[in-house]
Structure 1
Amino acid sequence: MTDQKPIDKTKAQNRKILFSCVFVVGAMVGLAYASVPLYKLFCQVTGFGGTTQVATEAPVEVSEKTIKVRFNADVNSGLNWQFKPEQREITVRLGEDNLAYYMAENMSVQPITGQAVYNVTPLKAGQYFNKIACFCFDEQTLEPGQRVDMPVSFYVDPAIAEDINTQDVKTITLSYTFFKAEASVEAADGNEDQGG
């Protein structure tokens, strides 16, 4: 009977180690799935990586201080669209609601859905750049040859002038890149674009 106790103790230790390993692996898988939404939330809250903020309206007070906002547009090679800003640069008052337009045109012979990703540079200005309404919030579907104006309503938070880290920022560049949306990729399987 005395031989049975060391075997039982070893089995109990092995079970503890097994459960600990299963727990660690489960926690790692959970963290892997949570990392993308947590990183996205972190970027939205802090403006990290040039991520802009989302607002429902511009502040009531508008500063007399101004800043230049430049506009940039790119299209991923997998999307047969032309995409460009209607204006290259505007000077805005801090806190003022502004409206800028981009133009997109589907150059293919079939409907295509695109999704824009965006950021601002310098990256440290992201937390002060606020979008009120933007075409980038939703996927955009364009019919063959369709050309549309896409507005973005935004303001630059007056606090940018008070932050010691951003007092040197005189110009902010808002950049968009359009990609083919997943729905378009699936619909296009076996039926590739014929446009030029």
Structure 2
Amino acid sequence: MSDTDRSPAGRTRNTALTCLAVAAGMLGLAYASVPLYNLFCTVTGFGGTPMLASRPADRVLDRTLTIRFDANVAPNLPWRFTPETPAIKIKVGETQTVTYTIRNTGVAPATAMATYNVLPELAGSHFMKLECFCFQENTLQAGETMEAAVVFYIDPAIADDPGMADVHDITLSYTYFPSKNGKSLEASAE
């Protein structure tokens, strides 16, 4: 250690640099926390986040579950958003497609994207999506209607999960939020 580092000015400089490094690290972690949390949820199914699958299940079980479809729109978005059916019964491992209708009821074009989750949360790691419209920005002109589909199955591994033994109903919930350039306008305003 040099004499400069032992002097009061040297110690003050070292303390200031340490504080600056800690603050920069905390700021970096703050910016990285949302993407890291989203990655964690996507990989583990934590918080009811459905998993992404690259192929259908390799087997279909006799166990049948009721899948409910919840469609929501943020209050400041003039869209109607409805599933083709409120619920279906499927066998575990069976691939299903459900179509949603989205309509801009406003007088001007609007851009939005859907987020999703699964309830109960523990079911998120077993809800496997092959195709989905979530996190895709869509612009609808006034009065325009579009259809979007979700293709999914329930992973047969659910049969080996003791926490899911008494689960008979799973809800897939989507919410459309206004967006711009791939970001929610609510998040952009913060």
Q: Is the 8 A contact 2:92 2:156 kept in 1?
A: yes
**Partner amino acid for 2:32?**
A
After TM superposition, list the pairs within 5 Å mapping 1:98-137 onto structure 2. Answer: 98-137=96-135
1:142 equivalent among 140, 147, 164: 140
Alpha-carbon distance in 1 for matches of 2:113, 2:165: 33
Which residue is 2:178 aligned to? 180
Q: Would the alpha carbon gap of residues 22 and 183 (structure 1) be closer, same or farther in structure 2, given more than 3 Å must change?
A: closer
Which residue is 2:72 aligned to? 74
Which residue is 1:49 aligned to? 47
Count of residues paired in the alignment = 182
* Identity in percent: 43
Task: Give, in angstroms, the shift of residue 8 of structure 1.
Answer: 5.5
Task: Give, in angstroms, the shift of residue 148 of structure 1.
Answer: 2.0
Unaligned runs of 5+ in 2: 186-190
**Partner amino acid for 1:52?**
P
Unaligned runs of 5+ in 1: 187-196
| Secondary structure in 1 matching 2:60 | coil
2:18 equivalent among 20, 25, 35: 20
Q: Is the 8 A contact 2:5 2:14 kept in 1?
A: no
- Describe the superposition over 1:60-86 as per-residue Cα deviations: whole angstroms up to 9, x where unpaired: 222222211001111111110111111
- Describe the superposition over 1:124-163 as per-residue Cα deviations: whole angstroms up to 9, x where unpaired: 1011101111121411222221122211100110111210
Alpha-carbon distance in 1 for matches of 2:14, 2:119: 51
Q: Is the 8 A contact 1:113 1:183 kept in 2?
A: no
- Give the structure with higher Rg (CA): 1
Q: Are positions 1:65 and 2:84 aligned together?
A: no
Q: Is the 8 A contact 2:57 2:156 kept in 1?
A: no
Which residue is 1:94 aligned to? 92
- Describe the superposition over 1:69-125 as per-residue Cα deviations: whole angstroms up to 9, x where unpaired: 001111111110111111011111111111011111111122211100110100110
Question: How well do the aligned residues superpose, as a CA RMSD in angstroms?
Answer: 2.0
Q: Which moved more, 1:31-40 or 1:175-184?
A: 175-184
Q: Is the 8 A contact 1:125 1:172 kept in 2?
A: yes
Alpha-carbon distance in 1 for matches of 2:120, 2:84: 22
Q: Is the 8 A contact 1:80 1:108 kept in 2?
A: yes
Q: Would the alpha carbon gap of residues 81 and 14 (structure 1) be closer, same or farther in structure 2, given more than 3 Å must change?
A: same
**Partner amino acid for 1:134?**
C
